[in-house]
Chain A
Amino acid sequence: MKGFEAIAFYNGWNISVTGVLIVFTALCTLSFIISQLHKVLIIIENKDKYIKKAKNLFSRPKKTGLRHKIRASRNFNESARQFHLLIQSMKDPFSLPKLIMLAKKVDIARPYSTVHELLATKLIVPDGKGYYFWDQDAYKKFLVKE
């Protein structure tokens, strides 16, 4: 038995068609993956954004409204009070990095952003020479307002 007869006898035609189909399918899949690769790259480049989105999907909705505002305000008041106590233990004018270090030592929550808020609300004021002082009058006004 030779030639086409042998090919047909040993299922050669079926095998070759199957082979062609496998290769063709693989090439189609590969080309599809390559065509979509730019989307994956966008996700990798903006991974922070997508991680945040994913986290938001599974986390509890943020507390908004009056109750949250009151709580945030209380937190800031408490932080301001704690920082005021720390500053009283330092000489005037004081060093801001040293204040942050001290706040970290005594476990005050989020010392960096709190210092930023204290600067923004002008409770901590720069002396123009690289050091800072606590504005007692502004603090009193702040307490009265709250």
Chain B
Amino acid sequence: MHLDPQNIREIDLFRDLSSGELDKILPVVHPVKIFEGERLIREGDTSQTLYIIISGNYLVYFKDGRSFTLHKKGDMIGWSTIASPFTYHESAVALTDGEALIIPIEEFLYLMQLDSDLGNKITKRVTETVRQRKAFVNETRNETRTEKK
């Protein structure tokens, strides 16, 4: 995939960024090919890479057996990369071949620290994703607890 500010702007995480901010982001974003069955992240590991889906189908799952699938362009895998305590909260595996953008966390955090405005915009988007996923996780956990009682 060829990366330029125009097609990177189509990704939800970068939608609010200005042209100047996109130019800063571009060098830390790397396109990669993902193959069927490839494990992207493992729950409990130190989070080092954020994945943004371009194409393909992915299964995100938790140790207790719950899971959901992702396939939309711009969906994030490994959001905990930019949140304390910097460990993955879920595991993810590719169900089909696909493409993704990877962002190494060190470069990304450094960039966000250098430019607080850019950092705020990214954090806002990530928080939205976390909010959606947390709702899913908490709801399921509460129900599991109730069933056990």
Contacts and interface: CB of A to CB of B under 8 A. Distances in A.
Label chain B's interface by main secondary structure. mixed
Contacts of B65: 95, 97-98, 130-131
Interface string B131-149: 0000010011001000000
A97 B58 CA distance: 12
A110 B36 contact: yes
A98 B63 CA distance: 10
Contacts of A131: 65-66
Interface residues of B, number: 21
A64 B65 CA distance: 39
A112 interface: yes
Contacts of A126: 68
Interface in B55-91: 57, 59, 61-62, 65-69, 91
Contacts of A38: none
A100 B61 CA distance: 12
B61 A112 contact: no
B37 interface: yes
Contacts of A119: 69
B95 A113 contact: yes
Most buried by B among A100, A115, A116: A116
Given A97-B59, A130-B62, A116 B95 contact: yes
Interface of B: 33, 36-37, 57, 59, 61-62, 65-69, 91, 93-96, 136, 139-140, 143
